[in-house]
Amino acid sequence: MDEQDRAKFAELVTEALGFYRQDVTDFQLDVWWQSLKAFEYAEVERAFSIHIQNPDRGQFPPRPADITRLLRGGAGDRALQAWSRVEKAIRHVGPYRSVIFDDPIIHRVIDEMGGWIRLCEVNTDKDLEFRGQEFRTRFQGYAVRRPQDWPPQLPGYAEADARARSLEPPEPLVLGDAQRALAVHQRGQERIGAPQTLGAVQRQLGQLTGGANKRAGPDGNGTGSATHRLTAATTTGGGSNGREAHPTGKGSKNP
């Protein structure tokens, strides 16, 4: 969950414990949040419902450990379901189109495994089975430790080719719940942030130094500033190979 989920999470905990006629303090809400924020809100909500309906444990109010136990116990099932969706996309979509899933953990895991194109490039069902085992293992790790960042989308051949030729890439395919997939895409962009050009970095350095800490260069006129040295070093090194983000966020071009 993210900070934007905190208000509805607090309401969920308050209502769940209110079912057992218990009040909740701000301190208790913070303990609940710290204990469960690594999980998705929908999963936490479902875990509360499961606890309340449990014929043995449901007669007692839940504690953070009770909900965590339910959530971690379901990590293996979640990993299996996630791989089933990914495998279906591999077989029916393939590596040509870029894709956006509705789960950030899927994006993080596939990115760590080399990306969408590499994952799709399997020669036999046996290779795909091995990839599936690796995917599920990685996924279960993140199911109890939410990733802090992930790629907003998983590029395919068409996008990679378009970017290499400075062309507009085709729209990615959305797989799963459209609203959640959009959130994955938007939050992925926010976490990664747009790449900066050399000029932008130089301007930032110039603002930081403010001209106050310039050192005299070989000509004695104070040209030895941090910005000047960075420019000189970059020029000597053959220039920048960075890429500038397209204003629309859908393409890129060389600065």
Q: Tens digit of pLDDT per residue, the chain (255 long)?
A: 888 899 999 999 999 999 999 999 999 999 999 999 878 888 899 899 999 999 988 999 999 999 988 887 777 888 999 999 999 999 999 999 999 999 999 999 999 999 999 999 988 999 999 999 999 999 988 877 778 899 999 999 999 999 999 999 999 999 998 988 998 999 887 665 545 556 655 665 666 555 444 444 445 454 444 333 333 434 444 444 444 444 444 444 444
pTM of the model: 0.58
* Extents of the domains making up the chain: 3-73, 76-192, 198-239
Within 8 A by CB and 6+ apart from 109, the residues are: 135, 138, 139, 142
Q: Tell me, what's the pLDDT at 245?
A: 42
| Beta-ladder partners of 245 | 252
The contacts of residue 104 (CB under 8 Å, 6+ apart) are: 146, 147, 150, 184, 187, 188
What is the pLDDT at residue 191?
Answer: 60
Angstrom CA distances, 139 to 30, 111, 116, 215, 220, stand at: 27, 12, 15, 52, 59
Q: How much is the pLDDT for 51?
A: 93
Contacts of 219 (CB under 8 A, 6+ apart): none
d(CA 74, CA 68): 10
Model pLDDT, residue 201: 56
User: Which residues neighbour 191 within 8 Å (Cβ) at sequence distance 6 or greater?
Assistant: 148, 149, 150
d(CA 233, CA 70): 56
Give the contacts of 87 (CB within 8 A, at least 6 positions apart).
Answer: 128, 132
238 - beta bridge partners? none
E strand segments, 188-247? 244-245
d(CA 107, CA 100): 8
